[in-house]
A = this chain, B = another copy of it.
């Protein structure tokens, strides 16, 4: 007995990735495909491959409001944060919001980090931040974590009490799909190819998610990479005396099918998580200082967005946590 799923905002990168997973999911059935810009067009309008991978006809795109009201058991909101904040969650559906609209409990943080007055502050308390390995949500309104926050929290959350909270520094690098499908100068291939550039250093809107989850602030420097997808976070931490970082991480993820703590000597690689809903973690000791370096690689569109959204939906619907997920990517 399948559950039904609606995708609202299905024409962006994240929406198409959720679609891909819903179609491969053994327990979900696609009920509605929403996109205001593509309404009326076939599901294959953006991606002709759907015609070859799915024999049965797919529902055409409908306006987002219609998809939202289609009575699905689970709704994936793949909208910008301003649009997502304006959505009224339907009936008793599970709703997974992939935007930032419901990630921060304190409304003032939106003004400070998004430059945006959150229009429905009362609703913030109704949503839970759902990072399954760290803080699984228990309700039906789930704020899916940011891609950077996912990678960084997977690396740092198990270390919360074992490191100096006054010196946590993160350098993270993301593929260009992290910035969405809308063409901008910053995502123009002429700006991206053979280039790397830091952006929003110290001011990125995923930083307050980190402080909210960890209890202390992190100095966070994001960079744009000349790759399509994938995100790697390099985290510098100062372990407290006696703390064994590798052991803490290994223990934290011993039961996880999603997070791999790599054997010593193996480094995470972007290429090994591209197209996958998994994470790779490794720990490096520093020979010269008392810092350790924890590196986490994910696919920003997989574990960093659509894969985690489906994982969250699975938990909320009582399904197998990894149903519909891609645990491996493509061999390299």
Contacts and interface: CB of A to CB of B under 8 A. Distances in A.
Interface in A23-60: 47-53
Interface string A164-185: 0011110101001100010111
A285 B189 contact: no
Interface string A226-240: 111110101010100
A303 B97 CA distance: 37
Contacts of A232: 196-198, 223
A192 B193 contact: yes
Given A219-B236, A234-B171, A47 B272 contact: yes
A120 interface: no
A113 to B, nearest CB: 8
Nearest to A201: B284
Given A190-B176, A291-B169, A269 B218 contact: no
A195 B212 CA distance: 31
Contact of A176 (B20, B166, B189, B229): B189
A33 to B, nearest CB: 14
Contacts of A290: 166
B202 A284 contact: yes
Interface residues of A, number: 92
A128 interface: no
A86 interface: no
Contact of A293 (B183, B185, B202): B202
Contacts of A221: 171, 234, 236, 284, 293, 295
Copies in the complex: 4
A230 B331 contact: no
A148 to B, nearest CB: 14
B193 A267 contact: no
Given A236-B236, A286-B202, A269 B197 contact: yes
Interface in A274-295: 274-276, 278, 280, 284-291, 293, 295
Nearest to A271: B195
Contacts of A188: 176, 181, 183, 187-189
A158 interface: no
A194 interface: yes
A290 B217 CA distance: 10
19 contacts: A13-B331, A19-B331, A47-B272, A49-B260, A49-B272, A49-B327, A167-B291, A176-B193, A181-B188, A183-B183, A183-B188, A195-B271, A196-B232, A197-B232, A197-B269, A198-B232, A198-B295, A201-B267, A221-B293
Interface of A: 13, 16-17, 19-20, 47-53, 166-169, 171, 173, 176-177, 181, 183-185, 187-199, 201-203, 207-208, 211, 217-221, 223, 225-230, 232, 234, 236, 238, 257, 260, 262-263, 266-272, 274-276, 278, 280, 284-291, 293, 295, 301, 327-332
